[in-house]
Amino acid sequence: MTQADGNRGEAADVLALQMDALYKAAPASILSISGALMAIFAYWSPDLKFGLILWVGCVSTVALLHLAGTALRASGRPVRWTPVSWARVASAIYFASGLSWGVGGAWMLGHGNEQQALVICCLAMGAVTVTFPAVVYAPAYNLFQVPIFFMFAIGLATSGMEFGALLSIASGLLCIFAAIIGQGMGSQLVLALRLYDENRKLAEELQVRGAALEAANRELRIQSLTDPLTGVANRRQLMSFARAAPERCAVLIVDVDHFKAYNDSFGHAEGDACLVLVAAELQASARPGVDLVARQGGEEFAIVLVDVDEDTAQTVAQQMRSNVEMLSDAHSPAIKRTVTVSIGLACRGPGRHRTIADLMADADSAVYEAKRSGRNRVCTSAAPSQIAVA
């Protein structure tokens, strides 16, 4: 996108904010109808009734069209209308309203006395004052106030009233200075809207970047605590989890039997696939959100079982061993031959007499005993003899 496109987009955004502010002042159109009715009350006479009724009809129609346009804009219709389209409609409505008040007021100044002229002049000044918030979009404001003051200047100059010429000059000066003041105020409001739009976009951008940063940090944390191959916890997460384990817990060291031979026979890609399936079976046998399965490295895994006694830990270990042994049946041909594991088990009861380091060392010794005893079995640190094997 070029700089020119960016500037046009920014201008369109600011214009949309101007239209939002301009149309929010539309309910003031009701005051236009009220003012017209007051003018009828002051000027009513059989000779003027037709002209007064016609004038009130014009003022009321323009006011109602303004309210209808506001309702359509609030509902998002027409869908294809751009801020420029709404600006054109607003300009047309403000000009029609200003012209109605200007022409009608000038006509009434030529057909009334000085007391009646005071009424219509006050009502016209009130209309311009109430419409002053429209300086947020200076073209619409000037299209309203210029016809009023210009036509009133003509009406006062030709009314024949005392000081009519002087009041006509005053009306012209008011028109000029209202335009100057409106332009200055409008520029300040547009600047404020521009700053608001920039701050809003900056806040949205920061929110998007913050969400992306949070997602990236979350991903980095997952990567720092997860084994990239198997998806289970890595050694860092294992040690953190083990240190926070309660008094009653058990540590299992699981080693895949003859894994080097498996790799040599079928290749490292098949070996990696085998480790992924072994990790999944170990994970399935643990309690989600309670126990932790981690890969220590190579073909060795470690499991921390929380709040279990030795009998329960042995049951879980046997289940893991059995599930891994059945992988070749459940996942053929992904598993090329029967895969088994040797598991070392160490438990800690109430009292916390053994540290996590002690448990890890004892479980490691037990897994070596399981391998020396023939593999595909579970051994405990307290009784290294083999436990019944399926």
In 147-282, beta strands by DSSP E: 249-256
3-state secondary structure of 227: coil
Structure tokens at 198: 């920039």
What is d(CA 162, CA 156) in angstroms, rounded to the nearest whole number?
10
Contacts of 385 (CB under 8 A, 6+ apart): 373, 379
Integer angstrom CA distances of residue 230 from 103, 283, 295: 84, 10, 8
Q: Quick count: other Cβ atoms within 10 Å of Cβ 179?
A: 17
List the catalytic residue out of 114, 247, 299, 369.
299
What is d(CA 236, CA 241) in angstroms, rounded to the nearest whole number?
9
Q: Which of 192, 116, 186, 127 is nearest to 156 (CA)?
A: 116
Cβ–Cβ under 8 Å, residues 55 and 104: yes
Integer angstrom CA distances of residue 117 from 32, 108, 162: 18, 8, 11
Burial class (CB in 10 A: 0-12, 13-18, 19+), 4: exposed
Contacts of 11 (CB under 8 A, 6+ apart): none
Cβ–Cβ under 8 Å, residues 230 and 275: yes
* Known catalytic residue at 299: yes
Active site residues: 299
